[in-house]
């Protein structure tokens, strides 16, 4: 008698169907009972200490005794196109909390949600205006001449520019998955690596801004998901079925979704200038970038630099980050790799163990 190599018994089908039905029922119960407060992000205790034009500066409450807090405060600079909460997604996956536990006095620049009128803001407005005002406030608040910066992605590129122009105000520069050389990925790269840079270079940004003013976050999210469409549009949602009955795992998933789809629009003029001068023109590494009439020469960047990148990053491929080393004038330049991806460097399990301790040890060794 012929038999199939895979035996599917009616009893097994019934048992699996019953288990799936129970999981779905529990999932419906979880989803209908969860509130927005249950999906909290950015929850580490903090105070708003400085604010202008919708941009807020947070100062986080210490988590160690005063004697263990470093004397040099650290300002985290997120990208303008994502919510700051990626640095503080949930208590057990929080760069902010981990830095506080290292004894670092942490501030964070929340760029906020731009209003229609803000579409005219330029790179100069951000670097020489809001960024500089924030740094000066923290310096005065702490009574110090210099502070440290930690840049996240686009915020790292901005921090690099600011530090180059203001070495008299910045003592240490830490970069995480920060795009510096936007062409460095092109040699021997896989098709999905640097895809957002490739798409951005081809985008008609002038028309986007003319139509929208500030470019909607939904447009940016679609671009991000197209960098890995099957996983980000379909795969992760198919996998949700496996965690529907696990309330804690479901909350963790929804926190990431809340951050990903709750980001701000991109400020129109700033977005145009960043695409033109950084992504398309690659002016930062070519030495032709000017901000507010001042030339940004990376050889002037002589302060200690810690450049951290993600080995599996396809959004900002590692070559685009580590290229910084050959352009700066600093004699104290360190690179550190973490085996994770672009977002995982802030939210992944491995990063919780190594990212903040690496930053803390590096700063302590340099007198922070």
According to DSSP, the residues that pair with 133 across neighbouring strands are none
Per-residue confidence band for 77, with pLDDT thresholds at 50, 70 and 90: very high
Residues in the chain: 368
Q: Percentage of residues in the chain with pLDDT exceeding 90?
A: 71
Above 80 in pLDDT, residue 41? yes
Look at residue 231 in the predicted model and tell me its pLDDT: 67
Look at residue 232 in the predicted model and tell me its pLDDT: 67
- Of the ranges 14-18, 135-139, 301-305, which one carries the lowest mean pLDDT score? 14-18
Mean pLDDT of the chain: 91
pTM: 0.91
Look at residue 222 in the predicted model and tell me its pLDDT: 79
- In the chain, the domains with their CATH numbers are 42-193+283-365 (3.40.50.1820)
Look at residue 198 in the predicted model and tell me its pLDDT: 76
Q: What is the DSSP letter of 263?
A: P
Q: How far apart are CA 362 and CA 367, in angstroms?
A: 9
Cβ burial, residue 265 (10 Å; 0-12/13-18/19+)? buried
Q: DSSP states of 197-260 as a string?
A: HHHHHHS-HHHHHHHHSSBPHHHHHHHHHHTSHHIIIIIHHHHGGGGTT-HHHHHHHHHHHHHH
- Of the ranges 115-124, 181-190, 211-220, 277-286, which one carries the lowest mean pLDDT score? 181-190
Joined together, the tokens standing for residue 260 give: 């990903």
Q: What is the DSSP letter of 277?
A: I
Per-residue confidence band for 241, with pLDDT thresholds at 50, 70 and 90: confident
Look at residue 103 in the predicted model and tell me its pLDDT: 98
Q: How far apart are CA 259 and CA 257, in angstroms?
A: 5
Q: How far apart are CA 186 and CA 276, in angstroms?
A: 18
**Residue among 81, 125, 121, 111 nearest 215 (CA):** 81
Higher pLDDT, 77 or 14: 77
Cβ burial, residue 124 (10 Å; 0-12/13-18/19+)? middle
Above 80 in pLDDT, residue 212? yes
Look at residue 3 in the predicted model and tell me its pLDDT: 62
- Of the ranges 5-9, 80-84, 151-155, which one carries the lowest mean pLDDT score? 5-9
**What number is the average pLDDT over the span 214-238?**
77
First to last CA, the chain: 78
Q: How far apart are CA 102 and CA 88, in angstroms?
A: 15
Q: What is the DSSP letter of 175?
A: E
**What number is the average pLDDT over the span 227-256?**
80
Joined together, the tokens standing for residue 76 give: 């985290």
According to DSSP, the residues that pair with 337 across neighbouring strands are 309
Which tens digits make up the pLDDT trace of 244-299?
A: 888 888 888 899 889 988 999 999 999 999 999 999 999 999 999 999 999 999 99
Per-residue confidence band for 118, with pLDDT thresholds at 50, 70 and 90: very high
Q: CA dist 46 to 77, 90, 102, 113, 366, Å? A: 16, 14, 17, 19, 27
Catalytic residues: 153
- Any residues with CB less than 8 A from the CB of 351 and at least 6 apart, and which? 95, 338, 340, 344, 345
């Amino acid at each position: 008698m012929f038999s199939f190599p895979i035996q599917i018994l009616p009893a097994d089908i019934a048992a699996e169907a019953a288990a799936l039905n129970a999981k779905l029922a529990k999932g419906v119960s979880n989803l209908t009972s969860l509130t927005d407060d249950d999906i909290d992000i950015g929850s580490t205790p903090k105070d708003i200490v400085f604010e202008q034009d919708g941009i807020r500066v947070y100062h986080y409450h210490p988590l160690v005794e005063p004697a263990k807090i470093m004397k040099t405060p650290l300002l985290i600079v997120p990208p303008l196109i994502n919510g700051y909460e990626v640095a503080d997604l949930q208590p057990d996956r929080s760069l902010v909390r981990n830095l506080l536990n290292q004894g670092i006095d942490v501030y964070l620049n929340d760029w906020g949600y731009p209003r229609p009128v803000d579409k005219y803001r330029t790179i100069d407005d951000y670097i020489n205006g809001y960024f500089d005002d924030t740094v000066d406030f923290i310096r005065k608040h702490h009574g110090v001449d210099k502070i440290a910066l930690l840049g996240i992605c686009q915020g790292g590129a901005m921090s690099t520019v600011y530090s180059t122009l203001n070495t008299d105000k910045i003592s240490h520069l830490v970069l995480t998955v920060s795009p510096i050389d936007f062409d460095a990925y092109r040699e021997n790269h896989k098709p999905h690596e640097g895809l957002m840079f490739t798409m951005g270079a081809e985008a008609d940004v002038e028309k986007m801004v003319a139509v929208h003013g500030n470019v909607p976050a939904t447009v940016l999210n679609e671009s991000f998901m197209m960098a890995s469409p099957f996983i980000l549009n379909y795969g992760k949602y198919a996998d949700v079925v496996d965690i529907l009955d696990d309330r804690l795992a479901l909350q963790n998933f929804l926190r990431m979704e809340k951050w990903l789809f709750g980001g701000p629009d991109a400020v129109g003029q700033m977005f145009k200038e960043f695409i033109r001068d950084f992504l398309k023109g690659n002016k930062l590494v070519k030495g032709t970038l000017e901000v507010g009439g001042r030339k940004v020469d990376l050889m002037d960047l002589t302060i200690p630099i810690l450049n951290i990148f993600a080995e599996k990053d396809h959004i900002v491929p590692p070559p685009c980050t580590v290229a910084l080393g050959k352009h700066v004038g600093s004699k104290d330049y360190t690179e550190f790799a973490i085996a994770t991806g672009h977002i995982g460097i802030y939210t992944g399990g491995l990063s919780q163990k190594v990212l903040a301790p690496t930053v803390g040890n590096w700063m302590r060794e340099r007198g922070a």
